[in-house]
Amino acid sequence: MPANEPMSLEDREIVTTRVFDAPRELVFKAWTDPRHLVHWWGPKGFTNTFHECDPRTGGRWRYVMHGPDGRNYDNEMVFVEVARPRRIVIDHLSAPRFRLTAAFDEMGDRTKLTFRQLFETAEVCSRVKTYAAPANEENMDRLASQVATMGPEWRELVLTRTLDAPRELVFRAWTEPAQLARWWGPKGFTNPVCELDPRPGGTLRIVMRAPDGAQHPMTGVFREIVIPERLVFTFVAVDNEEQPLLEGLTQVSFAERGGKTELTVKTRAIGLVDFAGRMLQGMEAGWTQSIERLAELVR
């Protein structure tokens, strides 16, 4: 698709919108994990054989769609942009050529997906719209069904505890690196790296060290900071080669209760690798022990 072409001309574009009852990280994974993508891609009754699927910027996607009538449809695509977990742009290189853009917008715990197909000419768009538009709706139905099967791969947790300390003190323990390093992580863990830029858009990087010496890096971005009431940040647990293992979102609220602080931590995460299930299973224990360490620090 030429770089100077406008991306939203109504006469050349088919737009499909759907709201999914699932967090954005989960819906995005259904698009970028070939193990899930192969099961829902295409209209009702179609199946797929993937020959290559590399869902990262510049990656190729070659597959055959098998129609219910026995016909096969060869397809070749390239991932132009993969901006986790907000946006995917793909060029469909087989006929008819078009650019596909999928935008993922958070709606609380739900996800609004806007699926756009931009064709080279209005004539091509008009010719395929009669079958492509209903096919897209069937595709979204199949995506919804696939997402519903992915529950075990993500987890949401809410913990509330009243701490015997004023909320300004508790808030600082979350936003000052020297203090955060003293309590973050399960019992016995230390944090040799604890770097924070506590402002909207600011980053965080923490490297936890387990009692056995294993290191567990994490990065993230602060989305919202309301002193001393609320923190919202994304997080990505990575391995030592910076490859993502799981990702999610944490919301922390600090309510004043007569000189004490009612702390509420709401966090959700989705696994990005096969063995992430073990990490998700340990979320509650890890967060519970972290909050216990925080309580001891601020007491």
Gap between the Cα atoms of 132 and 126, Å rounded? 10
Q: Do 145 and 189 reside in the same domain of the chain?
A: no
Q: Do 255 and 218 reside in the same domain of the chain?
A: yes
Radius of gyration of the chain (CA): 23
Q: Do 97 and 198 reside in the same domain of the chain?
A: no
CATH number at residue 204: 3.30.530.20
DSSP letters, the chain, are --TTS-S--GGGEEEEEEEESS-HHHHHHHHH-HHHHHHH-SSTT-EEEEEEE--STT-EEEEEEE-TTS-EEEEEEEEEEEETTTEEEEEE-SSSPEEEEEEEEEETTEEEEEEEEEESSHHHHHHHHHHHHHHHHHHHHHHHHHHHT-GGGEEEEEEEEEESS-HHHHHHHHH-HHHHHHH-SSTT-EEEEEEE--STT-EEEEEEE-TTS-EEEEEEEEEEEETTTEEEEEEEEE-TT--EEEEEEEEEEEEEETTEEEEEEEEEEEE-STTHHHHHHTHHHHHHHHHHHHHHHH-
Domain assignment of residue 1, yes or no: no
Domain assignment of residue 3, yes or no: no
pLDDT tens by residue, 245-264? 999 999 999 999 999 999 99
Gap between the Cα atoms of 184 and 171, Å rounded? 14
Q: In this model, does residue 226 exceed pLDDT 80?
A: yes
Q: Do 186 and 208 reside in the same domain of the chain?
A: yes
Gap between the Cα atoms of 127 and 98, Å rounded? 13
Q: Do 168 and 278 reside in the same domain of the chain?
A: yes
Residue 69 has what pLDDT? Answer: 95
Tally Cβ neighbours within 10 Å of residue 270: 24
Nearest CA to 287 among 229, 248, 256, 240?
248
pLDDT tens by residue, 3-15? 454 444 789 999 9
Range from 57-66, 146-155, 177-186, 239-248 carrying the lowest mean pLDDT? 146-155
Are residues 68 and 46 in contact, defined by beta-carbon separation less than 8 angstroms? yes
114, 149, 184: which is the final residue of a domain? 149
Token match 């989705």: residue? Answer: 270
The pLDDT confidence band at residue 241, using thresholds 50, 70 and 90, is confident
Tally Cβ neighbours within 10 Å of residue 130: 9
Q: Do 14 and 145 reside in the same domain of the chain?
A: yes
pLDDT tens by residue, 189-206? 999 999 999 999 999 999
Give percent of the chain with pLDDT exceeding 70: 97
The pLDDT confidence band at residue 2, using thresholds 50, 70 and 90, is very low
Domain assignment of residue 243, yes or no: yes
Averaged pLDDT for residues 49-77: 96
Gap between the Cα atoms of 18 and 41, Å rounded? 15
Answer whether the bond into residue 186 is a cis peptide, omega within 30°: no
Q: Do 120 and 217 reside in the same domain of the chain?
A: no
Number of domains in the chain: 2
The pLDDT confidence band at residue 1, using thresholds 50, 70 and 90, is very low
| Domain assignment of residue 49, given as a range | 10-149
Residue 72 has what pLDDT? Answer: 96
Domain assignment of residue 2, yes or no: no
Q: Do 175 and 134 reside in the same domain of the chain?
A: no
Tokens representing 38? 């192969």
Residue 168 has what pLDDT? Answer: 97
Q: Do 82 and 190 reside in the same domain of the chain?
A: no
Domain assignment of residue 273, yes or no: yes
Are residues 76 and 94 in contact, defined by beta-carbon separation less than 8 angstroms? yes
120, 149, 178: which is the final residue of a domain? 149
Domain assignment of residue 5, yes or no: no
Are residues 101 and 81 in contact, defined by beta-carbon separation less than 8 angstroms? no
Taken as a whole, the chain contains a residue count of 299
149, 179, 197: which is the final residue of a domain? 149
Range from 73-82, 147-156, 248-257 carrying the lowest mean pLDDT? 147-156
